[in-house]
Amino acid sequence: MTKARAVPMPGISVLVPLYADADLLDAFAIQLPAKANDDLEVLARTAFEHQAGWIRALTHVRDVVMATFGVKSSRAVGIAGAERGPVIGYLPLLSKSPTELVLGADDRHLDFRVTIQLRTDAANGRELLAGTVVHCHNRLGRLYLATIAPFHRVIVRANLERAVREMRT
């Protein structure tokens, strides 16, 4: 089974200016099967839509708990994003180029961005990369991030690995 692995944040990204002073900065990549689609948006949708039940359950718990602090639910983020344009999963698509998709949202506690890239690596062939940049605004954002960061890392890896399994069938 192909495993997602931690990699350095991509040096070529519209998000590079946001790397400085980020409260969370991480990236994961996974080798794609030979028959995987070359369309970056299709790859992103495969990776981040139709999540596993345990991920949906954790997201629901997050939404319920954070609602008490006036933080938008994932559903609300998706609905607001869909009013402005495409959404992948529940994340608004903020920019699209042939080499990079940027997803993300801003809220009262933090701003986050996700870069999705298809890259060719001499050692690993074609890879799908997902990188995250988070900037906290206040103590609530820092507490929230400290709580969810370990889950975030497991979820991103699980999404990438599930997507590759799906591409192989």
Is 97's pLDDT higher than 90?
yes
Could you tell me the sign of the dihedral formed by the alpha carbons of 51, 78, 144, 27, in that order?
Answer: positive
Q: How confident is the model at residue 122 (pLDDT cuts 50, 70, 90)?
A: low
In DSSP terms, which residues pair with 68 in a beta bridge?
A: none
**Mean of all residue pLDDT scores within the chain:** 93
Percent of the chain with pLDDT over 90: 79
CB contact at 8 A, 144 and 66:
yes
* Residue ranges of domains in the chain: 5-168
Is 124's pLDDT higher than 80?
no
pLDDT at residue 169 in the model: 79
Per-residue pLDDT tens over the stretch 139-152: 999 999 999 999 99
| Global confidence as pTM | 0.93
Closest by CA position to 101, among listed 47, 152, 137 = 47
CATH class as words, domain 5-168: alpha beta
Read off the tokens for 46.
Answer: 């495969």
